[in-house]
């Protein structure tokens, strides 16, 4: 009896760790790896987009190996969906190493995005060489590798051969590789070679474009053309006021000059100091001065009326 009890206890002890390992084993439902050489720097931007299997218990502790030349991560984001991942308040730790650098993430959501720059891009004149390797840290149900070819590049060669998926609006060519059911521990390696006669990143050749046409009305924004009638009306009113002011001031000045001239003319007329009535020549009509007996113009005798 004791023998059977001991065997039962031993079987339970062996079964419990096996179940615990089965529950803690994490599977990537989807893993998208995007490799963008010389995109916005002279190195290679690598982007991981991870979707954990729906049955994953949260929070999940994710431990990934990165190349040893990676000294830090650019982005670590977690979220409930691929569109809502955020890098705010993410619990993660990056440790640089000689063989591999490691990144540990405590994921509270099923979707994780990691970005880093790999500086191992080899350059020999125009020739470029780069190798990416997935180290097989997790089992992956759907694996996808994407290569964005740099602008101003040519003669792109990859091993394995990738499938072209088209060109985007900025002129970048995209190629991809897909594989289903990548088991834990299986490595996937991609060798990339191309030629490029510039060291400037691709983003330096992009033309900035507005999200909407420049002449298109934006809600809440007013254009100056909407106020054009008011501007023209205001200018016309100002011109009318100026014209009225000029007319009024010029008319006032003319009236002042007229009165001044009239006063000047009156003041130049000889006055009848003696108080006698004015006498004119009966022949030529010239006015005679007081005391004149003969006209100073025609010489006729001045006839004065008797008072």
The reported pTM is 0.63
Provide DSSP, 69-101: T--S-SEEEEESSGGG-B-TT-EEEEE--SSEE
- Whole-number pLDDT of residue 100: 95
Please give the average pLDDT of every successive group of 10 residues along the chain, which has 307 residues. 48 42 75 98 97 96 96 96 96 96 97 98 97 98 98 97 95 97 97 97 83 58 70 88 84 60 49 56 77 77 63
DSSP annotation of 294: B
E strand residue ranges, 43-90: 44-52, 60-67, 75-79
Which residues, at least 6 apart from 80, have a Cβ–Cβ distance to it below 8 Å?
Answer: 109, 110, 111
Residue from 48, 43, 56 nearest 76 by CA: 48
Distance (Å, rounded) from C-alpha 90 to C-alpha 235?
60
CA angle (55, 59, 65) in 5-degree steps: 95
Alpha helices in the chain (DSSP H): 2-24, 228-268
Cross-strand bridge partners of residue 30: 51, 142
- Whole-number pLDDT of residue 253: 61
Distance (Å, rounded) from C-alpha 83 to C-alpha 59?
19
């Amino acid at each position: 009896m004791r023998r059977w009890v001991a065997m039962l206890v031993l079987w339970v002890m062996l079964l419990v760790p096996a179940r615990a390992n089965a529950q803690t084993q994490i599977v990537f439902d989807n893993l998208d790896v995007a490799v963008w050489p010389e995109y916005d720097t002279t190195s290679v931007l690598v982007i991981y987009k991870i979707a954990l299997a729906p049955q994953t218990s949260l929070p999940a502790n994710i431990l990934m190996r990165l190349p040893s030349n990676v000294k830090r991560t650019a982005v670590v984001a977690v979220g409930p969906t691929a569109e809502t991942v955020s890098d705010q308040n993410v619990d993660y730790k990056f440790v640089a190493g000689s063989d591999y650098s490691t990144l540990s993430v405590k994921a509270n959501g099923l979707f994780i995005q990691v970005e880093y720059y790999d500086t191992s891009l080899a350059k020999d004149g125009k020739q470029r060489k780069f190798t990416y390797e997935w180290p097989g840290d997790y089992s992956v149900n759907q694996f996808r590798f994407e290569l964005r070819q740099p602008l101003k590049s040519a003669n792109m060669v990859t091993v394995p051969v990738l499938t072209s998926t088209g060109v985007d609006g900025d002129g970048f060519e995209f190629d991809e590789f897909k594989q289903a059911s990548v088991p834990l521990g299986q490595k996937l390696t991609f060798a990339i070679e191309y030629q490029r006669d510039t060291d400037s990143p691709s983003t330096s050749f992009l033309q900035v474009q507005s999200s909407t046409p420049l002449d298109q009305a934006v809600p809440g924004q007013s254009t100056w053309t909407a106020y054009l009638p008011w501007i023209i009306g205001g200018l016309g009113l100002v011109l009318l006021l100026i014209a009225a002011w000029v007319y009024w001031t010029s008319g006032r000045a003319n009236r002042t000059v007229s009165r001044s001239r009239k006063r000047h003319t009156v003041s130049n007329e000889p006055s009848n100091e003696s108080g006698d009535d004015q006498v004119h020549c009966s022949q030529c009509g010239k006015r005679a001065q007081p005391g004149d007996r003969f006209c100073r113009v025609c010489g006729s005798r001045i006839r004065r009326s008797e008072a």
